[in-house]
Amino acid sequence: MTVDAHTARDAELVQLLTPEGERLEHPDYPLNLSDQQLRELYRDLVIVRALDLESVALTRRGELGLWPSLLGQEAAQIGSGRALGAADMVFPTYREHGVAYCRGLPWLDILKLFRGVNHAGWDPKEFGFHLYTIVIGSQTLHATGYAMGIQRDAHAIAEKGETAIGDAALAYFGDGATSQGDVNESFVWAAVYNAPLVFFCQNNQWAISEPLERQTRIPLYRRAQGFGFPGVRVDGNDVLACLAVTRRALDRARTGEGPSLIEAFTYRMGAHTTTDDPTRYRHSDELEAWKLKDPIARVKAYLSRTGLANAAFFEEVEAQVAEAVVELRAACLALPDPPPQAIFQHVYAAPHRLLEEEQAAYETYLAGFHD
């Protein structure tokens, strides 16, 4: 039986907002948001999509070396990102620009990485957002270790008779990463040690050019049961459902109930990165079907239908987006090139003889270009 067949009969998809913009209730995931909070979620979605599209455009103009677009996955990222607490730590892949936005990380810092003007991008401690990870799935092991550290710190504080403030870690990965050994090993460790960790899989249906049915015979969220912790599938194009489900999973982690797996069922509308052509491996009718589930259109429909937002609000958001895009483009083009010697910085904790010899040889080589 194919994954699609399982999906068709799967009645466990958590959804709080239909593609038509109708509000639903779910007994396990109640969500009460103010009118202002709903409008802000819409604003987040629109801004993030616009900045992402501008980043694609900058890449096409040769200003960035590469860009992994999040197009279509805005709700999964904004919903889960807005569920995080200030002291939580995120372990992303290389596509979580929307989560980075929620953590207050300047978009320009992400562009610096893909423009090649620095070697990492940002201070993870400052934003509670670890560095992007290119190696598929390895960040889940980092997150597990970090979560176990949170757990041990809490025990040490409790031994002093004090009450620890429960923090949690959240690890993002894609459906393709679930085929990796690192992810499965992290499931084992997190389960056995009851680590305060949420695994968040953005199942965007394609592992580069490999479809989901070549990766699994069952829905991905059901894998958690085999490791001994709960899994849930959420409509990844529904920002409200993603927010509610992630909040609950983080609460479980913080209160000592251990890890959870969230499978956000979504779709990558663009290419895997700007170096590939998705028309070579998927049909256009598939893309057109998913466009009907667009994560932004359904929130706009809900706000309009309920009168929570009017034309003036939508025009204000569009104006803000236009300004943000212009500012981002100008700031990107103004980024200075790093000094050539910067390649030797921050590689090792301390200098050593071989590094010094290599740096001296490189500087001699550069000096040869001077008249």
* pLDDT (tens digit per residue) in 321-361: 999 999 999 999 999 998 888 888 877 888 899 999 999 99
Which of 39, 130, 252, 272 is the catalytic position?
272
CA distance 118 to 115: 8
Paired with 199 in beta bridges are: 171, 261
- Output the domain CATH number for residue 176: 3.40.50.970
The answer to the question of residue 15 being in a domain is yes
The pLDDT of residue 104:
98
The answer to the question of residue 127 being in a domain is yes
Q: Which region holds residue 37: left if phi is over 0, alpha if psi is between -120 and 50, else beta?
A: alpha
The answer to the question of residue 273 being in a domain is yes
Residues 145 and 281 in one domain: yes
Answer yes or no: 146 catalytic: no
The answer to the question of residue 170 being in a domain is yes
The pLDDT of residue 345:
83
Range of the structural domain that residue 353 is part of:
345-370
In this prediction, what percent of the chain has a pLDDT beyond 90? 86
Model confidence at 5, pLDDT cuts 50, 70, 90, reads very low
* pLDDT (tens digit per residue) in 131-156: 999 999 999 999 999 999 999 988 88
Residues 237 and 357 in one domain: no
Residues 297 and 149 in one domain: yes
Asked if pLDDT for residue 113 goes beyond 50, the answer is yes
CA-wise closest residue to 351 among 341, 363, 359 = 359
Residues 256 and 361 in one domain: no
Residues 49 and 90 in one domain: yes
The pLDDT of residue 159:
81
Of residues 348 and 251, more confidence is placed in 251
Extract the tokens encoding 226. Answer: 């085999």
CA-wise closest residue to 33 among 308, 282, 273 = 308
For the CA atoms of 82, 109, 202, 296, what is the dihedral angle to 10 degrees? 60
Does residue 260 contact residue 232 with C-beta atoms inside 8 Å? yes
Asked if pLDDT for residue 4 goes beyond 80, the answer is no
The pLDDT of residue 122:
93
The answer to the question of residue 1 being in a domain is no
Answer yes or no: 346 catalytic: no
The pLDDT of residue 140:
98
Residues 349 and 290 in one domain: no
CA distance 121 to 110: 6
Residues 75 and 164 in one domain: yes
Helix/strand number for the chain, H first, E second: 14, 7
Asked if pLDDT for residue 70 goes beyond 60, the answer is yes
Residues 70 and 182 in one domain: yes
Which of 29, 268, 298, 302 is the catalytic position?
268
CA distance 172 to 68: 15
The pLDDT of residue 162:
73
The pLDDT of residue 10:
54
The pLDDT of residue 9:
45
Asked if pLDDT for residue 370 goes beyond 70, the answer is yes
DSSP H helices in 12-92: 35-60, 74-81
The answer to the question of residue 364 being in a domain is yes
Q: How many domains does the chain have?
A: 2
The answer to the question of residue 56 being in a domain is yes
The mean-pLDDT minimum among 2-11, 40-49, 226-235, 262-271 falls in 2-11
Asked if pLDDT for residue 109 goes beyond 80, the answer is yes
Residues 264 and 360 in one domain: no
Asked if pLDDT for residue 200 goes beyond 90, the answer is yes
Residues 287 and 362 in one domain: no
Asked if pLDDT for residue 248 goes beyond 80, the answer is yes
The answer to the question of residue 19 being in a domain is yes
CA distance 119 to 346: 8
Average confidence (pLDDT) over 83-91: 96
Residues 238 and 352 in one domain: no
Which of 281, 305, 348, 365 is the catalytic position?
281
Residues 204 and 350 in one domain: no
